[in-house]
Amino acid sequence: MELSIVLMGALVGLLVGLTGVGGAALLTPLLMLLGIAPTVAVATDLFYNSITKLFGSVQHMRQGTLNKKLVLHLAIGSIPGAVAAVLLIRFYPPLHHFQDDIIKHALGFVLIIVAILSIAKVWFLKEQDNAIQKKPLEEKMGLTIFIGVVLGFIVGLTSVGSGSLFALAMMFFYRLKAAELVGTDIVHAFLLVTAASLVHAGLGNVDYMLALNLLLGSVPGVLLGSNLSAKLPAKPLRTVMASIILISGINLI
C-alpha cells in the first residue's frame, strides 16, 4: 500500500509538472479509488497541499511577485468559508451520516467544472480587459470577499480549486501581470489550504503517513515533469489532463 501511494504521488507530481493542472483535482479522486474514506482523502490532500505550496509561497514573497491586498481580501472570505464547510459537514447532525456521499458528489461536480474551465482557458479564452478588471481593487473589496467565501467553501468541502478556481477568478476580475497572478494564487492558496487542513487535523481527519508517502513521490515527480514540459506541447497535454479530470468527476457522481 505504501509503495502504491508513493508511486501515485510520483504520477500526480509528474502530471502537474507537465501540465500545470492542479494536483488536488487528480489526487483526491485517486485516493478515493484506493479505498481511502472521502473525508480522510480531502483532509490529507489539504495538508499535503499546504506543505507543497509553502515553498512556492516563500519564493514569491521574496520576489515580490504577488498582490498582497488581493491575497488579504480573498483570504478574509475564503478562510471562514473553508472552515465553515468543514465544520458544517462534521457537526450539523442531518448531514453527519451522509458526509462521505456529500463530499464525493460535491467533488465530482467541482471536477467537472474545473475540467471544462481548464479546456476553455487553454483553447477559447483570450486575455483582454473587461469593465470589472478596470475598477480599482478597493472598489471591488465586497466582490473579492464574496468570491473568497464561495470558492473557499468549495475548497473546504472538496480540497479542489484552491489554485485552479481562484486563478480563473483572478484572470477574469482583476488586472494582474502573469507572474503576479501566479504568485498571488499560490500565496493565497497556501493560506487557505493551511487553515482548512488545521481544522481537519483538529478533528482527526488527516492521515500523516499517507501525506508523507505522497510527498516522497511527488517531489521528484514534479521536478521530472517540469523538465519534460519544456520539450512537449502544452495545449495537448493540458487538454488530455482536463479530460481525465472530467472523466473522474463523472465517475464520482
Digit-coded pLDDT (tens) for 116-168 = 877 777 676 655 556 787 788 888 999 999 999 999 998 888 887 777 788 77
> What DSSP letter does each residue of 115-152 carry, written as one string?
HHHHHHHHHT------HHHHS-GGGGHHHHHHHHHHHH
- Cα angle for residues 76, 60, 71 (degrees, 5° grid): 15
Answer whether residue 81 shows pLDDT above 90. yes
* Highest mean pLDDT: which range of 71-85, 129-143, 177-191, 230-244: 71-85
pLDDT given at position 99: 66
* pTM across the whole model: 0.80
CA distance 68 to 191: 12
Answer whether residue 3 shows pLDDT above 70. yes
* Strand segments (E) across 177-229: none
pLDDT given at position 70: 95
Task: Provide CB contacts within 8 A for 229, sequence distance 6+.
Answer: 17, 18, 19, 20, 237
pLDDT given at position 127: 56
CA distance 25 to 103: 13
CA 141 and chain centroid, separation: 22
Phi, psi (rounded to 5 degrees) for 64: 75, 20
Answer whether residue 202 shows pLDDT above 90. yes
pLDDT given at position 165: 80
Q: Note whether 118 and 21 are within 8 A (CB).
A: yes
Q: With CA atoms as reference, report the closest residue to 86 among 146, 46, 52.
A: 46
pLDDT given at position 153: 93
